């Protein structure tokens, strides 16, 4: 029975659609069914934090409707269909009361936003933005507003801060960290971005947390911070991190770590089940970025047509979309031996992470040094060395 079943792909984000595009270059015939909990509209998620800068609302950021994608790719797309389980023995996906047989199953179901349990009756004013539908709801809620509070000063919090300032909103950023993006950038680069965002008008409240969000008389919310400060806002954006979706995979008996564990052929521990993108831990690496998922999609498409292929991650610089302070970073491997060497002129920072041998293992560049990202990337060894 199973050999007649389609390839089933769960998720129509960049991972799911990139995989089908790669697969259709190699095989136009094999039936493919895509299943997604959302509306299946194709969009580029990184653009969600650039809407005001680019003058685009949610409709402007949509790239193609579901029907167009289904037709172009020769696939069936089932929208608003939430997977509730996987029966790896029967080779069936469980969608509530329904079972869907698969010949091969690909999990491309992304990562969940972390939600903080915050006290107060203003919960419905807190928005997490992790897909186009979230963004649509956020823009609608923002309509007529003037002031936004952002929880989290990581990459996404900073990008939204810059973008909302470009949209002329008043922006407060609240985070427990001593400076922005502490897990991504060395301190000099982080402080340069923070300085330029501050010059742009962003107000930072660092070293503290939001303790309560209550509705205010004015129709917005009042935030109470751990340091005793009180802030008013029309709405709150929560940008406190993402966690790969592993629960259903774990319940189905798949090996999981921080993500769904796969080898470099993108195979999980269950036969004929693969994973890629934000939900996957590929050979020990959880990288919630576009370049790794594109490389994975190319390799997995080949595996799905029987050409055994291992994904190879090259050097993967991350661009931080803060136009007030252009920034690129290529973090050194976790636990690498070495230290940062920094050259700085105001908010222009060039930091190189060098091993004791002098080899460059990572870099961060801001301001006028940001243009050096391509040449520096050539000096950094790829993630997969073979």
Ligand X SMILES: Cc1cc2nc3c(=O)[nH]c(=O)nc-3n(C[C@H](O)[C@H](O)[C@H](O)COP(=O)(O)OP(=O)(O)OC[C@H]3O[C@@H](n4cnc5c(N)ncnc54)[C@H](O)[C@@H]3O)c2cc1C
Enumerate binding residues for ligand X (CB under 6 A): 10-16, 35-38, 45-46, 48-49, 82-83, 108-110, 129-130, 156, 245, 277-278, 288-291, 293, 319, 321
DSSP-based three-state secondary structure for 136: helix
How far apart are CB 64 and ligand X at their closest, in Å? 14
CA 323/CA 162 separation, integer angstroms: 7
How far apart are CB 386 and ligand X at their closest, in Å? 24
**Cα–Cα nearest to 268, from 278, 256, 277:** 256
Q: Which is nearer to ligand X, 196 or 278 (CB)?
A: 278
Q: Tokens 């998620």 sit at which residue? A: 45
How far apart are CB 153 and ligand X at their closest, in Å? 14
Q: Which is nearer to ligand X, 277 or 332 (CB)?
A: 277
Q: What is the DSSP letter of 333?
A: P
Q: Which is nearer to ligand X, 130 or 366 (CB)?
A: 130
CA 187/CA 178 separation, integer angstroms: 10
CA 378/CA 56 separation, integer angstroms: 34
Q: Which is nearer to ligand X, 48 or 75 (CB)?
A: 48
Q: Which is nearer to ligand X, 289 or 340 (CB)?
A: 289
How many C-beta atoms surround the C-beta of residue 135 within 10 A? 22
Residue 125 burial class via C-beta count within 10 angstroms: exposed 0-12, middle 13-18, buried 19 and up? buried
Q: Which is nearer to ligand X, 222 or 242 (CB)?
A: 242
Residues 6+ positions from 384 with CB-CB distance below 8 Å: 264, 283, 311, 312, 313, 314
Q: Which is nearer to ligand X, 129 or 188 (CB)?
A: 129
**Phi and psi angles of residue 148, each rounded to the nearest 5 degrees, phi first:** -125, 135
Angle made by CA atoms 285, 287, 288, in degrees to the nearest 5? 150
How far apart are CB 100 and ligand X at their closest, in Å? 11
Q: Which is nearer to ligand X, 47 or 349 (CB)?
A: 47
How far apart are CB 299 and ligand X at their closest, in Å? 15
CA gyration radius, the chain: 22
- Is 233 in contact with 149 (CB distance < 8 Å)? yes
Q: Which is nearer to ligand X, 48 or 100 (CB)?
A: 48
How far apart are CB 70 and ligand X at their closest, in Å? 14
How far apart are CB 230 and ligand X at their closest, in Å? 28
How far apart are CB 82 and ligand X at their closest, in Å? 4
Give the bridge partners for 224, in sequence order: 212, 230
**Cα–Cα nearest to 233, from 244, 241, 242, 224:** 224
Residue 350 burial class via C-beta count within 10 angstroms: exposed 0-12, middle 13-18, buried 19 and up? buried
Q: Which is nearer to ligand X, 66 or 194 (CB)?
A: 66
How far apart are CB 43 and ligand X at their closest, in Å? 9
How many C-beta atoms surround the C-beta of residue 71 within 10 A? 12
* Half-sphere CA count of 282, side-chain side, radius 13 A: 28
How far apart are CB 225 and ligand X at their closest, in Å? 24
């Amino acid at each position: 029975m199973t050999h007649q079943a389609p390839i089933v792909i769960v998720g129509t984000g960049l991972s799911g659609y990139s995989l089908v595009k790669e697969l259709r270059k190699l095989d136009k015939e094999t039936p493919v069914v895509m299943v997604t909990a959302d509306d299946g509209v194709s969009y580029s998620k990184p653009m969600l934090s650039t809407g005001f800068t680019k003058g685009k609302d949610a409709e402007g950021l949509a790239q193609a409707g579901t029907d167009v994608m289904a037709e172009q790719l020769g696939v069936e797309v089932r929208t608003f269909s939430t997977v509730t389980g996987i029966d790896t023995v029967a080779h069936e996906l469980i969608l509530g009361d329904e079972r869907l047989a698969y010949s091969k199953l690909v999990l491309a179901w992304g990562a969940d936003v972390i939600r903080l349990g915050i006290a107060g009756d203003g919960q419905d004013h807190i928005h997490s933005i992790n897909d186009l539908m979230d963004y649509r709801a956020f823009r609608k809620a923002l309509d007529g507003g003037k002031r936004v509070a952002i929880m989290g000063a990581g990459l996404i919090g900073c990008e939204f801060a810059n973008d909302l300032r470009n949209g002329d909103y008043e922006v407060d950023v609240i985070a427990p960290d001593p400076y922005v993006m502490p897990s991504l950038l060395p301190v000099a680069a982080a402080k340069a971005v923070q300085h330029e965002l501050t010059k742009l008008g962003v107000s930072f409240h660092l070293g503290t947390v939001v303790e309560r969000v209550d509705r205010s008389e004015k129709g917005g919310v009042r935030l109470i911070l751990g340091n005793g400060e009180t802030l008013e806002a029309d709405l709150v954006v929560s940008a406190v991190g993402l966690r790969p979706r592993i629960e259903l995979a774990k319940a189905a008996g798949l090996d999981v770590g921080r993500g769904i564990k796969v080898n470099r052929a993108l195979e999980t521990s269950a036969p004929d089940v693969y994973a890629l993108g934000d939900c996957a831990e590929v050979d020990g690496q959880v990288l919630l970025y576009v370049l790794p998922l594109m490389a994975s999609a190319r390799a997995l498409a080949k595996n799905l047509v029987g050409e055994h292929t291992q994904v190879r991650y090259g050097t993967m610089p991350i661009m931080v979309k803060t136009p007030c302070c252009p920034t690129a970073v290529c973090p050194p491997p976790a636990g690498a031996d070495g230290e940062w060497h920094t050259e700085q002129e105001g908010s222009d920072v060039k930091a190189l992470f060098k091993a004791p041998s002098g080899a460059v293992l990572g870099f961060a560049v801001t301001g006028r040094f940001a243009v050096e990202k391509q040449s520096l990337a050539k000096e950094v060894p790829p993630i997969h060395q073979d």
